[in-house]
A and B are shown apart, each in its own frame.
Chain A
Amino acid sequence: MLDSPGHRNHKLPHFAESFLLMGTVVTIRVVGTAKGPARKSIGRSIAAMTEVERQCSRFDEASALRHLCRHPGELVPVPPALFHALRIACEMGALTGGVFDPTVGRPLEQMGFNRHYLTQEAVESAGAGSPHASYRDITLFEDTLSVRLQQPLMLDLGGVAKGLAVDLGAQALQDFEGFAIDAGGDVYVHGLDPSGELWDVGIEHPKRPDSPIRRLRVSDMAVCTSGSYKRRSPLNPGLHHLWNPITQTSAQGLLSCTVAAPLAVLADASATAAFLSGPQQAMDFIEKLGLAGFAVTEDWRTLETASMRRYMR
Chain B
Amino acid sequence: MPSPSGVRLMGLCTIAVGAIYAAGYLYTEPSAQANAIAAFSPPAGAAPHHAATSAKSASPTPGPTAKPSPHPGPLYKDGVHTGFASNPYGTLSVAVTVIRGKIATVKITSYNMHYPQSVIDPQLPQEAVAKQTWRIYIVSGATASTYNFAEAVYNALQKARA
The answer to whether A289 touches B2, judged by C-beta atoms less than 8 angstroms apart, is yes
Residue of A nearest to B146 (CB): A18
The answer to whether A84 touches B20, judged by C-beta atoms less than 8 angstroms apart, is yes
- A50 near B: Cβ within 8 Å? yes
- B61 near A: Cβ within 8 Å? yes
Q: Digitize A60-96: 1 where CB-to-B-CB distance is under 8 Å, 0 elsewhere.
A: 0011100100000000111111001101100110010
Interface size of A in residues (CB-CB distance below 8 Å) = 58
* A88 partner residues in chain B, CB cutoff 8 A: 9, 12-13, 16
The answer to whether A145 touches B29, judged by C-beta atoms less than 8 angstroms apart, is no
Residues facing B in A208-250 (CB within 8 A) are 209
* B30 partner residues in chain A, CB cutoff 8 A: 40, 43-44, 46-47
C-alpha gap A290/B1 in the complex (Å): 5
- B14 near A: Cβ within 8 Å? yes
Selected interface stretch from B48-56, B71-79, B96-104: B48-56
* A141 partner residues in chain B, CB cutoff 8 A: none
The answer to whether A54 touches B53, judged by C-beta atoms less than 8 angstroms apart, is yes
Interface size of B in residues (CB-CB distance below 8 Å) = 59
* B140 partner residues in chain A, CB cutoff 8 A: 4-6
C-alpha gap A80/B23 in the complex (Å): 8
- B34 near A: Cβ within 8 Å? yes
Q: Which 9 A-B pairs have the closest CB atoms?
A: A290-B2, A84-B16, A6-B140, A289-B6, A43-B30, A79-B62, A48-B26, A62-B55, A25-B147
C-alpha gap A19/B153 in the complex (Å): 12
Known interface pairs A18-B147, A51-B51. Does A291 touch B6 (Cβ–Cβ under 8 Å)?
A: yes
Residue of A nearest to B31 (CB): A43
The answer to whether B150 touches A43, judged by C-beta atoms less than 8 angstroms apart, is no
* B147 partner residues in chain A, CB cutoff 8 A: 18, 25
Majority DSSP secondary structure for residues of A touching B: helix
The answer to whether A91 touches B9, judged by C-beta atoms less than 8 angstroms apart, is yes
- B15 near A: Cβ within 8 Å? yes
The answer to whether A290 touches B10, judged by C-beta atoms less than 8 angstroms apart, is yes
Residues facing A in B134-157 (CB within 8 A) are 134-138, 140-141, 143-144, 146-147, 150-151, 154-155
- B118 near A: Cβ within 8 Å? no
Residues facing A in B60-108 (CB within 8 A) are 60-62, 88-89
* A6 partner residues in chain B, CB cutoff 8 A: 140-141
Known interface pairs A118-B158, A288-B2. Does A20 touch B36 (Cβ–Cβ under 8 Å)?
A: yes
- A130 near B: Cβ within 8 Å? no
* A77 partner residues in chain B, CB cutoff 8 A: 61-62
The answer to whether B60 touches A67, judged by C-beta atoms less than 8 angstroms apart, is yes
Q: A19-B36, A67-B53 are in contact. List 13 more A-B contacts (CB 8 A).
A: A18-B146, A18-B150, A20-B154, A47-B27, A51-B51, A54-B53, A80-B20, A118-B155, A118-B158, A288-B2, A290-B3, A290-B6, A291-B6
